[in-house]
């Protein structure tokens, strides 16, 4: 699916988890020199979401989706990769060797969603304390467990 916004061509591609690194390498060789963003989505509450018709037969819906946004400055093109990641095996290969700037982004996804990036050089928590239990951006994470304290508030 391709659209044009602000003179930049956008392209969204659904990629099988097994082809993820191969697709990233091909896109880097094609001129997508910058990984702008790498994040994840938890579709726990939307298991029956609709995929584009040309993708629905080739990609199985999973609970998690890793989303990678790449940019080619020289070609004025963007591409977004969407990769389904199963809850039972919440892991995917690390993009660090191809795009070193993804190091902190992958750590954040690991910290907030619990998705492991195989081959990452330092897959440790980046936002939460090391001894924190759970992953706060998962839809099944219990809310309201941390009392909020305001500086200077009357007790």
Say if 60 falls within a structural domain: yes
Say if 137 falls within a structural domain: no
Say if 106 falls within a structural domain: yes
- Which range of residues forms the domain containing residue 112? 2-118
Say if 65 falls within a structural domain: yes
Interatomic CA distance for residues 114 and 152, integer angstroms: 35
**Contact at 8 Å (CB) between 120 and 114?**
no
Give me the numbers of helices (H) and strands (E) for the chain, helices first please.
3, 7
DSSP 39-100: EEEE-TT-TTPPPPHHHHTTS---SEEEEEEEEETTTTEEEEEEEEE-STT-EEE--TTT-G
The CA-to-CA distance between both ends of the chain, in Å, stands at 55
Give me the pLDDT at residue 122, please: 96
In 3D space, the residue among 66, 55, 72 whose CA is nearest the CA of residue 13 turns out to be 55
Say if 38 falls within a structural domain: yes
Block means of pLDDT (10 residues each) for the chain, 155 residues, are 60 94 98 97 91 82 96 95 96 98 98 98 94 92 69 65
Q: What CATH number has the domain bearing residue 61?
A: 3.30.460.80
Say if 135 falls within a structural domain: no
Say if 73 falls within a structural domain: yes
Structural domain tally of the chain?
1
pTM: 0.86
Give me the pLDDT at residue 19, please: 95
Give me the pLDDT at residue 48, please: 84
Q: Which residues contact 60 (CB under 8 A, 6 or more apart)?
A: 84
Residue identified by tokens 């070609």 is: 75
Residues making up the chain, counted from first to last: 155
Give me the pLDDT at residue 139, please: 94
Q: Which residues pair with 4 in a beta bridge?
A: 9
Give me the pLDDT at residue 51, please: 84
């Amino acid at each position: 699916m391709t659209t044009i916004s602000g003179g930049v061509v956008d392209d969204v591609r659904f990629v099988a988890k097994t082809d993820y690194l191969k697709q990233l390498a091909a896109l880097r060789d094609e001129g997508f020199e910058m990984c702008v963003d790498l994040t994840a989505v938890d579709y726990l509450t939307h298991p029956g979401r609709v995929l584009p018709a040309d993708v629905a037969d080739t990609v199985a819906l999973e609970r998690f989706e890793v989303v990678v946004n790449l940019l080619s400055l020289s070609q004025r093109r963007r591409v977004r990769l969407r990769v389904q990641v199963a809850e039972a095996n919440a892991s995917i290969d690390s993009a660090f060797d191809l795009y070193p700037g993804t190091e902190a982004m992958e750590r954040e996804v690991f910290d907030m969603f619990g998705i492991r990036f195989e081959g990452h050089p330092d897959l440790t928590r980046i936002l939460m304390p090391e001894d924190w239990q759970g992953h706060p951006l998962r839809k099944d994470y219990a809310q309201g467990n941390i009392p909020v304290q305001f500086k200077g508030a009357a007790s």
